[in-house]
Amino acid sequence: MQIKNELTAASLQPKLDRFWEVSGEKIKLINKEYDNSKGTPVFTVNGKYTLRGWTEWTQGFQYGAEVLQFDATRDESYLASARRNTVDFMASHVGHFGVHDHGFNNVSTYGNLLRLMNEGVIPENEWERNFYEIALKVSGAVQARRWTPIKNGQGFIHSFNGPHSLFVDTIRSVRALMVSHLLGHSFMGENDLKTSLLERGTLHSIATANYSVYYGEGRDSYDLWGRTAHESVFNTNDGNYRCPNSQQGFSGFTTWTRGLAWAMLGFAEQLESLASFSDEELAPVGGRAEIERIYLKAAQATCDFYIENTASDGIPYWDTGAPQIHKLGDYTSRTSDPYNEFEPIDSSAAGIGSQGLLRLGKYLNDKGQTEAGNRYWQAGLTAIDALFAEPYLSTDPTHQGLILHSIYHRPNGWDNVPAGQKIPNGESSMWGDYHAREVALYLHRINKGLPYYSYLGAVK
């Protein structure tokens, strides 16, 4: 990655303004053309959103996008639609015991709406506030129920694969537990046993840092500073770690870049969240200094790996160990090429990862570590500069996607390969479009002097 040190958040504002114009057009197009009775839209095929039955993990992105669009533009039509759709469609996600995606679905909808009420953008309404708060309280506890204990009093929120499975991307669902805790809620078990949601969220984050992220310390022959494994497998009989694996990457010993991006963003957000908890609350799970050390190491390692293994413009290919990526030569020295013949780009990883770079950069700058902080901040701006322009910004008025060249599941062959092409390209995903909107809103609010955008805004 070739970091552009001349970029500033303000210099990207014209691209942000154009982005929100296109974003609004896409939301209106989906609302006009997509048949919600078919199920939740997941990714596009030939420019039209379609579903893919695995789990219902993208509906919060669909309606959360409307909240973000309102936040950026103050167009009341998006707020009205978001409120209506959250009431009509999101209740099942609050009590969904079968997924690890509560931080995606419910914080993106109920959480963003409550944040705007806390900021005074939405008028105060006691019943509406209570509605959002009870959804977020329950969601955090339901997410925490997917618990697998492991060695030394540790544990993790297990994936939909089962209790043996720790997914790296679940680091971003931890925010559901943190919000619920800060709203005064706990996880209640058998015999009224009360468990702290902060404790479970923190232990999950520590497990992710210990097992999903590598630090070049000799764990295996592929141990590099900052690489990640999508899935970590445990023996549930004795709590021992067994091996890395991957569901959507090429292998457990290569780095699926969207999983890497989830770790970048998730650890940066958890670093930011530490200021919201007292020393007394953090003491039972290791104490503030130790938790910060673990989170910061994971955030810096993953962000460093992204910078070192991404095309020069900051847009990554789907897996840094993909089987034909060697045919691209030194792809890190050239701009990304979504139309190459060998391996696809995953633009959604850039939308997610760029926000992680920015948040980590700001965190370090606020701590006085300006050299490191500026490096990550400028890397984030570099990726956004490319992502919010063609060939990634979708300007075709008939294409429902916002950010092009996202992929979902390369090993399963779920992604559309256009006629005449050899690899998937030209399509969008609901999570890629949503996270592009999140990072656009993050910068937009900084440029406009608005309150800092954080999921913790859902808590007064």
* Residue 40, token pair as written in the block: 């939740």
Q: What is the pLDDT of residue 38?
A: 85
Please, which residues have CB within 8 angstroms of residue 322's CB and are 6 or more apart in sequence?
Answer: 250, 254, 343, 410
* Residue 43, token pair as written in the block: 């990714």
With H, G, I as helix, E, B as strand and everything else as coil, classify residue 147: strand
Gap between the Cα atoms of 23 and 402, Å rounded: 6
Kind of pairing between the strands at 155-157 and 240-245: unpaired
Gap between the Cα atoms of 299 and 318, Å rounded: 20
Domains of the chain, by residue range, sit at 10-458
Q: What is the pLDDT of residue 428?
A: 98
Return the percent helix, strand and coil in the chain, to nearest 5.
55, 10, 40
Write the pLDDT tens digit of every residue in 171-189.
999 999 999 999 999 999 9
pTM of the shown model: 0.98
Q: Taking the CB of residue 312, how many other CB atoms lie within 10 A of it?
A: 18
CATH architecture designation of domain 10-458: Alpha/alpha barrel (1.50)
Q: What is the pLDDT of residue 287?
A: 98
Mean pLDDT by 10 residues, the chain (460 residues): 98 98 98 91 96 84 98 98 97 95 97 98 97 98 98 95 97 97 97 97 98 97 97 97 97 98 98 98 97 98 98 98 97 98 98 98 98 98 98 98 97 95 97 98 98 95
Run of H or E including 373? helix 370-387
Burial 382-391 (b: 16+ CB within 10 A, else e): bbbbbbbeeb
Kind of pairing between the strands at 240-245 and 187-188: unpaired
